[in-house]
C-alpha cells in the first residue's frame, strides 16, 4: 500500500515517525527486567537490511527466527514485530504470534501466516495493523528514509486467555506484569535510498 506514496510526499514526511519509545517492549507497564533472550535470524544480522524476499518488494513471507534458552518459569512466548518509523501516531504492527510453547526455539521462514483460531499447541497468529492475520510485509514510503522493523520476543510467567487473533491492544494488556524475559532483533528496510554494501541479502536461501 505505501509503495504508492509518491517520493516527494515520503521525503516531506521523513521526520514524521511514531518513535521507538512507543514500542511494546518500551512500555513501562511490562516492567521488562534484566533477563535477556538471545533472538536472531539466519537471514539477516541485527541492525542489517532485511532481504527483499521478506518485504512487499519480494515474496512477502516472514523471515526465519531463532532464539536461545528462556527462564525455567516460562509458560509461553509471545512475538510482536513493529515499525516505529512509520509516519503514524503509533508503531505499525507487522506481526503478532501469541502463546508459542515455552520449548519452542524458532520460527521457520513463512511461519507467520493466517491460522484461523490458532493451533492445537496454543499458538495463535494475531492481527497486524491492517487488521489481517499474518505477516504484514515491510512497505515503507519511498524517500522516507530507513525504517527499523523490531522483532520483540517475550517469555511469559502467566498466560491469560485471549480471544482468537488478538491485536496489539489486547496483547499489550496481557503482557503487563507477565514478562519474565525479553529479546529484541532489528532489521531495516527503505525505498529510494542507497542500499548498504553487505546488506545480508546473499545469506538468504530460498525455501
- Residue range 42-93, pLDDT digits in tens: 999 999 999 999 999 999 999 999 999 999 999 999 999 999 999 889 999 9
Distances (CA, A) of 65 to 52, 81, 141: 16, 12, 26
The answer to whether residue 54 sits within a structural domain is yes
Give the pLDDT score at 10.
40
> Between these two residues, 19 and 105, which has the higher pLDDT value?
105
The answer to whether residue 207 sits within a structural domain is no
Q: Is the pTM of this model over 0.75?
A: yes
Count of CB atoms within 10 A of residue 158's CB? 13
Q: Please, which residues bridge with residue 40 across strands?
A: 66
The answer to whether residue 23 sits within a structural domain is yes
pLDDT at 197 over 70: no
Q: Long-range contact list for 72-75, CB < 8 A, 24+ apart?
A: 73/157, 73/180, 74/102, 74/155, 74/156, 74/157, 74/180, 74/181, 75/102, 75/156, 75/157, 75/158, 75/159
The tally of domains found in the chain comes to 1
Q: How many residues does the chain have?
A: 207
The pLDDT > 90 percentage for the chain reads 71
Q: Which residues make Cβ contacts (< 8 Å) with residue 125, sequence separation at least 6?
A: 95, 96, 97, 98, 112, 113, 114, 115, 118, 133, 134, 165
The answer to whether residue 55 sits within a structural domain is yes
Distances (CA, A) of 139 to 10, 30, 48, 135, 147: 12, 28, 16, 12, 9
The answer to whether residue 15 sits within a structural domain is yes
The answer to whether residue 37 sits within a structural domain is yes
Mean pLDDT of 91-97: 97
Give the pLDDT score at 18.
78
Domain CATH for 132: 3.90.280.10
The answer to whether residue 200 sits within a structural domain is no
Q: Where are the beta strands (DSSP E) in 26-140?
A: 39-40, 65-67, 76-83, 92-101, 106-107, 124-125
Give the pLDDT score at 203.
39
The answer to whether residue 202 sits within a structural domain is no
> What is the domain range of residue 59?
2-190
Amino acid at each position: 500500500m505505501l509503495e504508492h506514496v509518491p517520493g516527494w510526499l515520503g521525503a516531506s514526511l521523513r521526520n514524521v515517525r511514531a518513535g521507538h519509545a512507543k514500542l511494546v517492549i518500551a512500555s513501562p507497564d511490562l516492567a521488562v527486567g534484566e533477563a535477556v533472550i538471545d533472538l536472531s535470524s539466519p537471514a539477516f544480522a541485527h541492525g542489517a537490511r532485511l532481504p527483499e524476499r521478506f518485504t512487499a518488494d519480494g515474496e512477502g513471507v516472514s523471515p526465519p527466527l531463532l532464539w536461545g534458552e528462556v527462564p525455567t518459569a516460562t509458560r509461553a512466548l509471545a512475538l510482536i514485530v513493529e515499525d516505529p518509523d512509520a509516519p503514524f501516531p503509533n508503531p505499525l504492527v507487522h506481526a503478532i504470534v501469541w502463546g508459542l510453547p515455552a520449548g519452542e526455539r524458532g520460527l521457520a521462514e513463512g511461519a507467520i501466516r493466517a491460522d484461523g483460531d490458532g493451533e492445537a499447541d496454543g499458538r495463535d497468529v494475531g492481527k497486524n495493523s491492517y487488521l489481517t492475520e499474518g505477516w504484514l510485509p515491510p512497505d515503507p514510503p519511498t524517500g522516507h528514509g530507513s525504517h527499523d522493523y523490531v522483532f520483540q520476543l517475550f517469555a511469559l510467567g502467566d498466560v491469560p486467555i485471549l480471544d482468537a487473533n488478538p491485536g496489539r491492544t489486547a496483547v499489550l494488556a496481557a503482557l503487563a506484569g507477565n514478562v519474565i524475559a525479553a529479546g529484541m532483533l532489528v532489521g531495516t528496510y527503505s525505498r529510494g535510498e542507497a542500499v548498504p554494501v553487505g546488506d545480508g541479502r546473499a545469506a538468504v536461501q530460498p525455501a
